[in-house]
Structure 1
Amino acid sequence: MADSSAPSSFTILATGQIECAEIPECTNAYLKFQFVAGEDWQLLDGLEEGITQAARVPEGRDGVLVWNFPIDITYKTTNAFGWPQLVVAVYGLDSFGRDVIKGYGCIHLPMAAGRYTLKLRLFRPRSASLLQSFTSWLTGMPAEFSDPKFPSYGEGREVTRVQSGGHVKVQLNLLTKDMDMFGYVDGSGREPAVSAITQM
């Protein structure tokens, strides 16, 4: 007879904040974020996407855009396939005051409970030719991904031309529940992990 008290899924809870960003030659920007998870993952609580307030670098400062924007999300699932990722897109003003993409970033949430500092390296797509690059500059419409979730996909990224620049810093606290019941080692029984993770 099956144990009726056995859990039917495991749960992860992520809370924290999108703290700040450093982007070369960018003094005014806001950030759009979204969590992307596999089909077997069910959202229990929180917002899967959002947008921060605009941040401006004060005069004489070291070029850090500070948002301190809170994030809080809870998922449940029965397997680790499609582990949640945080995808960000930073938008700022160009020299003509037009709203343009400054960079995309993506990172998987940690798989063990603990407190983390995540560093998402930013990149943006490049135009395929000098003519397209000049046209996009002239019209104020630089190359962007048509699907904002594209950075979280594996397919097609190997042929995408990008230019790197800057990073976003995220503070995250992660809790897990019942992962061990499904055969996953979640770090329980140890002291809470304090880690710094950089997306490669």
Structure 2
Amino acid sequence: MGDSTSPSSFTILATGQIECAQIPNCTNAYLKFQFVAGEDWQLLDGLEEGITQAARVPEGRDGVLVWNFPIDITYKTTNAFGWPQLVVAVYGLDMFGRDVIKGYGCMHLPMSAGRYDLNLRLFRPRSASVLQSFTSWMTGMPAEFADPKFPSYGEGREVTRVQSGGQVKVQINLITKDMDMFGYVDGSGRDPAMATQM
């Protein structure tokens, strides 16, 4: 007799916060974020995208932009392919008060249950030519990606010219449910197959 209570999918729950950022020559910025997951991943709860409040570095401080913006998302799937990624884009004001890109970043959510303090490195695209660099400098509009999800794609990134642009600190608490039923070990040390072999 088969087990009729077998789960039809496994679930991951990620909570935490986008804490702060350190970005060279940036004293006022906000952050747009979105989660990008594969086709087999279904959103159960939470927001897949959002925008933080603007943060300003206080005078005489160490250059940290503090957001402490909460994140909370739950997915279910039967397949680990397309594991969710957090994609961020930080925008700040230039000397004319215009919103300009300060940096993009992307990282996969952790694959094991636990609490994580992560540093997400930022980068920004560089102009493809000297003429574009000059035009960008004259207009005050630096190069940016047309598709905000571009940092999460593998295809095409190897030919993109970028420069480093600081980092964002993210704190994530990850919980997994029923991964072992689909043959995945979540790294928590609770793998029942291993326990029965000992």
> What do residues 64-88 of structure 1 show as CA deviations (whole Å, max 9, x unaligned)?
0000000000000001000000000
Alpha-carbon spacing, 1:151–1:126, altered in 2? closer, same or farther (3 Å): same
Matched with 1:185 is 185
> What do residues 176-200 of structure 1 show as CA deviations (whole Å, max 9, x unaligned)?
0000011111134469999xx9999
How far residue 96 of structure 1 moved from its aligned partner, in angstroms, is 2.1
CA distance in 2, matches of 1:191, 1:60: 50
Query: TM-score, normalising length from structure 2?
Result: 0.94
Query: TM-score, normalising length from structure 1?
Result: 0.93
> What do residues 16-61 of structure 1 show as CA deviations (whole Å, max 9, x unaligned)?
0000000000000000000000000000000000000000000000
Alpha-carbon spacing, 1:2–1:198, altered in 2? closer, same or farther (3 Å): closer
Alpha-carbon spacing, 1:127–1:87, altered in 2? closer, same or farther (3 Å): same
Kept in 2: contact 1:114–1:193 (CA 8 A): no
Q: Which moved more, 1:166-175 or 1:132-141?
A: 132-141
Kept in 1: contact 2:26–2:92 (CA 8 A): yes
Kept in 2: contact 1:20–1:66 (CA 8 A): yes
Kept in 2: contact 1:112–1:174 (CA 8 A): yes
CA distance in 2, matches of 1:65, 1:129: 32
Kept in 1: contact 2:180–2:192 (CA 8 A): no
Q: Which blocks of at least 5 consecutive residues in structure 2 are unaligned?
A: none
Alpha-carbon spacing, 1:192–1:161, altered in 2? closer, same or farther (3 Å): farther
Percent pairwise identity: 90
Kept in 2: contact 1:9–1:78 (CA 8 A): yes
Kept in 1: contact 2:185–2:191 (CA 8 A): no
Alpha-carbon spacing, 1:89–1:193, altered in 2? closer, same or farther (3 Å): farther
Kept in 1: contact 2:20–2:170 (CA 8 A): yes
How far residue 136 of structure 1 moved from its aligned partner, in angstroms, is 1.2
CA distance in 2, matches of 1:92, 1:66: 13
Kept in 2: contact 1:105–1:123 (CA 8 A): yes
Kept in 2: contact 1:113–1:192 (CA 8 A): no
Larger Rg: 2
Alpha-carbon spacing, 1:162–1:69, altered in 2? closer, same or farther (3 Å): same
CA distance in 2, matches of 1:199, 1:106: 38
CA distance in 1, matches of 2:27, 2:41: 37
Q: Which moved more, 1:140-149 or 1:184-193?
A: 184-193
Kept in 2: contact 1:30–1:51 (CA 8 A): yes
> What do residues 152-177 of structure 1 show as CA deviations (whole Å, max 9, x unaligned)?
00000010000112000000000000
Alpha-carbon spacing, 1:49–1:114, altered in 2? closer, same or farther (3 Å): same
Alpha-carbon spacing, 1:74–1:93, altered in 2? closer, same or farther (3 Å): same
- RMSD of Structure 2 on Structure 1 (CA): 5.4
Alpha-carbon spacing, 1:69–1:78, altered in 2? closer, same or farther (3 Å): same
CA distance in 1, matches of 2:2, 2:124: 52
How far residue 128 of structure 1 moved from its aligned partner, in angstroms, is 1.1
Alpha-carbon spacing, 1:61–1:193, altered in 2? closer, same or farther (3 Å): farther
Alpha-carbon spacing, 1:174–1:192, altered in 2? closer, same or farther (3 Å): farther
Alpha-carbon spacing, 1:52–1:191, altered in 2? closer, same or farther (3 Å): farther
Alpha-carbon spacing, 1:128–1:188, altered in 2? closer, same or farther (3 Å): closer
Q: Which moved more, 1:87-96 or 1:54-63?
A: 87-96
